[in-house]
Amino acid sequence: MTLTSTNRPGMADEHPAVPILDISEYHDPATKDRFVESLRDACHHVGFLYLTGHGVDHDLSTRVTDVSREFFSRPESVKREIAMVNSPHFRGYTPVGGEMTGGRADVREEIDLGPERPVSHDTDRPWRRLQGPNQWPTSVPDFEPTMTQWGDQMDRLGRTLLDALAEGLEIDVDHFRNWVTPDPETTIKAIRYPAPAADQKPQGVGTHRDFGLLTFVLQDAVGGLQVERANEHYLDIPHLPGSFVVNLGEMLQVATHGYYKATVHRVVSPPAGIERFSTIYFFNPRLDATLNPVELPEHLAAGARGGASDDPSNPILDTYGDNILKVRLRAHPDVAERHHRDLLQSSIR
């Protein structure tokens, strides 16, 4: 496994493959500036990195994987007791083939979790429909407390990294903090990729960019995550023990005029006879947050690419709630048809 780090003295590679950054350096005055610069370079050139030294309890992350495996080992009938199609808030279990990326079914099963909030009856802002309770699997009693505790630790990590990203742009950290204050719209997604047959090459997850701010991936050693580098060439992102894989979302790309990069990536299905597990933490803005653009200093603005979507059928909307609702309606057509039929022909989609 070849990994390249940008935060080690003497490194000369301006465009590293997958940088490895130790965020504990951010808390040390002697190394903070070096970390901030390395993070800025990684997010400008690559949009993906490994994050170590993050302080999230290793045993807790192990339990996250364990409870996920336990849930996915349950009979299909038990898992479907918390089927997402029963939730207008897009929470709960999605069976294999139940989520779409790029118009094709992904070959994975998953459970989606979000902030526990009261149901909103605001009819003027459709994205308020995303607020509501989770569906927790009672068949795995440790699932809810484990995921809740892990989410609390990941929230702190997300806020710290967002501050460091603001400092890298030489702007007031409150510019980014205001997007997630008081509470970000987070999502935890626990995933199982089933073992394919020898003659199958299914789509684990199709090519896409994430749509929020920051994505943290806790992956096992099987592999399958790939990032596009150039000309549709994909680079493997193998497992690095003790780390999270981090990538940036489109909302951060737009707000920084493309200086920070939301990179296309995908997941290929595991080898024949082997299943893969991962748990993802999406750290995103408040639903009502409008991401006011950053005023970059002149020496950074010269390197900004422009952040608008290059897909006219998939514009990036300014208000995060509108953006995520658009994505959810496309990704989960069964939920959209059952609970949000009135939105299917509207401009939100």
pLDDT digits (tens, 9 = 90+) for 89-121: 999 999 999 999 988 999 999 999 999 999 988
Render pLDDT for 325-341 as a digit per residue (tens, 0 to 9).
999 999 999 999 999 99
Cis peptide bond prior to 184, omega within 30° of 0: no
Q: Which residue has the tokens 């790939």?
A: 226
Q: What are the beta bridge partners of residue 20?
A: 50
The least confident of 18-22, 153-157, 231-235 is 231-235
Minimal CA–CA distance to 324: which of 252, 251, 246? 251
Minimal CA–CA distance to 238: which of 63, 8, 11, 20? 20
pLDDT of residue 305: 84
Q: What is the mean pLDDT of the chain?
A: 90
HEC per residue, 60-115: HHHHHHHHHHHHHCCCHHHHHHHEHHHCCCCCEEECCCCCEECCEECCCEEEEECC
Q: Which CATH class is domain 20-343?
A: mainly beta
Domain ranges in the chain are 20-343
* pLDDT above 90 for 1: no
Average pLDDT over residues 153-164: 98
Record the tokens describing residue 125, joined without a space.
């802002």
* Contact yes or no for 220/277 (Cβ under 8 A): yes
Helices (H), the chain: 32-45, 58-72, 76-79, 143-168, 174-180, 250-255, 298-301, 320-331, 333-339
pLDDT of residue 13: 37
